[in-house]
Amino acid sequence: MEQQRVSRLQRIVRSKAFTLFVLLAVLILGFGFLSPVIKRGAMFFHSNTLKTTLQDLSIPAFLAIGAGCLMVSGSLDFSQARVGAFGGIIVAAGIQWWGLNWGAAIIIALALSAIIGLVNAILVNELKFQPFIATMAMSSVIYSVMYLVATDRTGQIQSTINFTNEGLTKIIDWNLKIGSFELPGTVLLLLAAFVVYGLLLSKTRFGRQLYLIGGNATAARLSGIDAKKTSYFLFINCSVLSGLAGIIYTGRTRQGSLLALANDQFTGMTAAILGGISFGGGSGGMGGAFLGLLVIKTFSKGLAIINVNTYLTNVLSGALLLAALTFDYFSQRSQRKRIGI
């Protein structure tokens, strides 16, 4: 049979990213035109909306990247939010109680995050725990350790540790001025991260290996792909990125908190799933995860602007996730049905 080359346009239109892009456009236009109608004075189309939405994005973005890479390879990590909180606590306690400078505190926090990732990887690869169980257990362990760290000299547990440090604040709150618009530095960092990890997944050998492992780990091993090494990298990577998210949170709020990121516990994974990285592994990509995240955050931002209360917002966000999962389920099922397996 004559082999046709695959056109780029075909690839794009068939992709999940395309669907998300449309969904995002609908949300933006919908909120944009409806917000003044629903609530007097509410303006979705405002330069501030963009800035704050982007700012809200940076923390779950790092979670989404870490989770997304793991999920592509058919694994997952439920300890993300706790690792982040832990990183934050270390930075806060380091600066405020232990007299470290902010750079050293950050390095220690990231190194500890990496160790947690390493332990996760050992639990999964050497002791053969299910990733779900291993990382859940890890999550509780971290929580207990955080209590120890957050116990001050008088023996009181501080659920938040406030600190002041100009250097760190300056870095975290740095903005890039483009005319009158200020682009937060953290947003630049997250965009860069998405680009780098996006390229890693879609264009490199390492990335391709992740998909093949996620698709069929046995076949991948028999084809000479080192799934173990990859798994170690992914768990450590995921933990370090979670730690980074926690540090940004801490820097922004100027406090380490035991409950930091608790709201974002599932945001990373949700964004990844919305973006087409399914739990089974082997599919999706960073572009999708980024769009998924934009959809989630645009949605919650829009609801906030038209003043929907927090509880209802949570319910509606849950509904959005359910809708996305249902859509995913049916599109996968129809694909399987079409193929007949």
Q: Which residues bind ligand ATP (CB under 6 A)?
A: 338-340
Least distance (Å) from another protein to the CB of residue 336? 8
The amino acid at residue 16 is K
Q: How far is the CA of 67 from the CAs of 49, 81, 199, 265, in angstroms?
A: 27, 11, 16, 11
Nearer to ligand ATP, 101 or 335 (CB): 335
Tokens of residue 30, six digits: 């919908």
Nearer to another protein, 68 or 246 (CB): 68
How far is the C-alpha of 294 from the C-alpha of 202, rounded, in Å?
20
Q: Does 224 bind another protein (CB under 8 A)?
A: yes
For 178-191, give the DSSP string. ETTEEEEHHHHHHH
Nearest to 142 by CA among 152, 154, 150: 150
3 binds, among another protein, ligand ATP, none (CB under 5 to 8 A by kind): another protein
Nearer to ligand ATP, 6 or 127 (CB): 6
How far is the C-alpha of 98 from the C-alpha of 254, rounded, in Å?
16
Interface pick for another protein out of 31, 78, 211, 235 (rule CB under 8 A): 211
Q: Does 9 bind another protein (CB under 8 A)?
A: no
How far is the C-alpha of 137 from the C-alpha of 132, rounded, in Å?
9
204 binds, among ligand ATP, another protein, none (CB under 5 to 8 A by kind): another protein
Question: Which residues have C-beta within 8 Å of that of residue 154, sequence separation ≥ 6?
Answer: none
Interface pick for another protein out of 116, 212, 269, 295 (rule CB under 8 A): 212
Interface pick for another protein out of 37, 127, 148, 339 (rule CB under 8 A): 339
How far is the C-alpha of 87 from the C-alpha of 245, rounded, in Å?
8
Q: Does 37 bind another protein (CB under 8 A)?
A: no
Q: Does 126 bind another protein (CB under 8 A)?
A: no
73 neighbors 213 (Cβ within 8 angstroms): yes
Residues numbered 56 to 75 that lie near another protein (CB under 8 A) are: none
Nearer to another protein, 177 or 205 (CB): 205
Question: Hey, which residues does 178 pair with through a beta bridge?
Answer: 181
Reported as type and span, the H/E element at residue 124 is helix 102-125
Least distance (Å) from ligand ATP to the CB of residue 209? 26
Give residues in contact with another protein (CB under 8 A).
1, 3-6, 11, 199, 203-205, 208-209, 211-212, 215-216, 218-226, 282-283, 338-341
